[in-house]
Each structure stands twice: as C-alpha cells, then as structure tokens.
C-alpha cells in the first residue's frame, strides 16, 4: 500500500483497525517493563525516592513538545499541501498533547514541593511549559468552538504555526526573565539523570508513553473521521428531505 493511499480516509481506517490492537499490546508491554524498572530504580543521593516522579515528568514534557511538533507538521499538511487527513491528525493530537503538558505541570509541582518547598516555582522550564499549556488551550478552543470543522481546523492550523515560531522565542524570553529575577538555582530538575540505573527506566518510560501517545492519536483520528462521516450523512439526509 503506497503512502498516497493514506490520504484516503476509508483506507486509512482499515489500516488503523489492523494496527491498533498491536499498538495497544506493545504499549501495555512497554509500561509493564517500564514500571518494573521504575520500582527497582535506586534513590537519588540528593532527592531520595522523589526522583521516581521524574520518570513521569520528563516523558510528559517530551510528549507535550512532540505533540506540538506533530500538530505543526499537520498544520503544514493542511495549509500548504492540502493533505485530506492532515487536519484530522492535528485535531486529534491537540487534546492528547495538552493532557501530557498538564501531567508535566502537575508532576512538576508535586516534585517541587518536597525538593524546593513550594508547589509552584517560577522556574524557567516550568513557566515555559505553563505557557505551552496556554497555547494548547487556545488551539483547542479554535478546534472545538468552530461550527464548520474545516474552517476551525484551518484557523487552528494557523495558530499552531504561529505558536511553533513563537515557542522558541517564549522559551528564550522566559529563561532570560528567570535569570534576571532569581539567582541560578542549585537544585536542577535534571539532577543526576546520567547514571544508567536512572537513565534506563527513564528511557523505557519515555518509550512507553510515546507508544501510548501514538495509540491514542490513531484511535482519536479514527473517531474524528467517523464523526465527519456522521456529519456528512446528516447533511445529505437534510439536503434530500
């Protein structure tokens, strides 16, 4: 099956139906393996067992960024190459990326409380993630409040691209702002991640979460295609009445 066939929604659906069970199985296996490694991971000399929160926080941060990257590719597909399934891909990715960004913020906050003493710190990285979350909310607002799905998708695609250009600028500004207002902090969230006994669980969990993302994404794309099919059928029914 050529790549061009993926542009056909019906053929895409057949592909998803075939692939999805395998993806689900792979995801479950990856998490089983990852969680075992997490349980056996040693304590950090500085942070103790709370380093285990990092195995959630770092994958979530990665997926938040990857989600926006995926949406950016989808946006280019929608606006530049007019690929039929591009806007479906973007709309499906947005809530999942937003959810993982939210997980990143929550786990970051819970990690900060025992290590830094407060639930929220205006640390450069956490603040950048917060702004990313706000951008996600904006894109979700455009996708979900539009009466016409095509129009809403195009608007969301534009905002995604504007966001993609802006996110590096925002990150740079926030880091600049942070160094201006606070001295360099000794406790970095990266910590001692270099040691293999910590690195391996981190990589496995990252892989497991990434598989989860793509499983959810394909399933959500399938739902969106079905939803549009329902809408077309209802419009056709109304046209004939």
Q: Does 94 bind another protein (CB under 8 A)?
A: no
How many other CB atoms are found less than 10 A from the CB of residue 209? 23
Cα three-residue angle 226-232-235, rounded to 5 degrees? 145
CB of 185 to another protein, least distance (A): 19
Considering only 26, 28, 110, 200, the residue that binds another protein (CB under 8 A) is 110
Pick 22 or 176: Cβ nearer another protein: 176
Alpha-carbon span 195 to 149, nearest angstrom: 48
The residues near 227 (Cβ < 8 Å, ≥ 6 apart) are: none
Binding flag, residue 75, another protein (CB under 8 A):
no
Measured from the CB atom, the residue of 106 and 200 that comes closer to another protein is 106
**Does 227 interact with another protein (rule: CB under 8 A)?**
yes
Member of 7, 76, 99, 200 binding another protein (CB under 8 A): 99
Query: Is 8 a binder of another protein (CB under 8 A)?
Result: no
SS3 96: helix
The residue from 151, 182, 185, 187 that contacts another protein (CB under 8 A) is: 151
Check: CB of residue 50 under 8 Å from CB of residue 114: yes
Using CB under 8 A, pick the residue from 13, 65, 76, 131 that binds another protein.
131
**Joined tokens for residue 57:** 């926080």
What DSSP string describes 90-155?
A: HHHHHHHHHHHHHHHHHHHHHHHHHHHSSS----HHHHHHHHHHHHHHHHHHHHHH-SSHHHHHHH
3-state secondary structure of 48: strand
Using CB under 8 A, list all residues that contact another protein. Answer: 39, 43, 48-50, 52-53, 56-57, 60, 79, 95-96, 99, 102-103, 106-107, 110-111, 113-114, 131, 134-135, 137-138, 141-142, 145-146, 151-152, 154-155, 157-159, 161-163, 165-166, 169-170, 172-174, 176-177, 180, 212, 216, 219-220, 222-223, 226-227, 229-230, 232-234, 236-237, 239-240
């Amino acid at each position: 099956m050529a790549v061009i066939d993926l542009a056909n929604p019906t053929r895409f659906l057949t592909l998803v139906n075939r692939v999805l069970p395998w993806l689900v199985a792979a995801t479950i296996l990856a998490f089983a393996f990852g969680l075992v490694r997490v349980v056996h991971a040693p304590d950090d000399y500085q942070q103790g067992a709370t380093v285990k929160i990092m195995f959630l926080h770092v994958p979530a941060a990665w997926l938040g960024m990857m989600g926006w990257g995926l949406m950016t590719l989808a946006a280019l597909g929608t606006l530049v190459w007019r690929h039929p399934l591009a806007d479906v891909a973007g709309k499906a990715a947005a809530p999942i990326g937003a959810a993982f960004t939210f997980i990143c913020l929550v786990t970051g906050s819970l990690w900060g409380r025992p290590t830094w003493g407060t639930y929220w710190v205006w640390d450069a990285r956490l603040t950048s993630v917060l702004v990313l979350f706000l951008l996600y909310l904006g894109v979700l607002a455009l996708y979900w409040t539009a009466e016409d799905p095509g129009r809403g998708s195009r608007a969301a695609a534009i905002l995604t691209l504007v966001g993609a250009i802006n996110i590096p600028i925002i990150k740079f500004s926030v880091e600049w702002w942070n160094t201006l207002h606070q001295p360099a902090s000794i406790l970095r969230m990266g910590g001692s991640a270099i040691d293999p006994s910590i690195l391996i669980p981190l990589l496995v969990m990252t892989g497991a979460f990434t598989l989860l993302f793509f499983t959810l994404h394909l399933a959500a794309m399938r739902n969106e295609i079905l939803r549009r099919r329902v809408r077309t059928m209802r419009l056709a029914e109304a046209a004939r009445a």
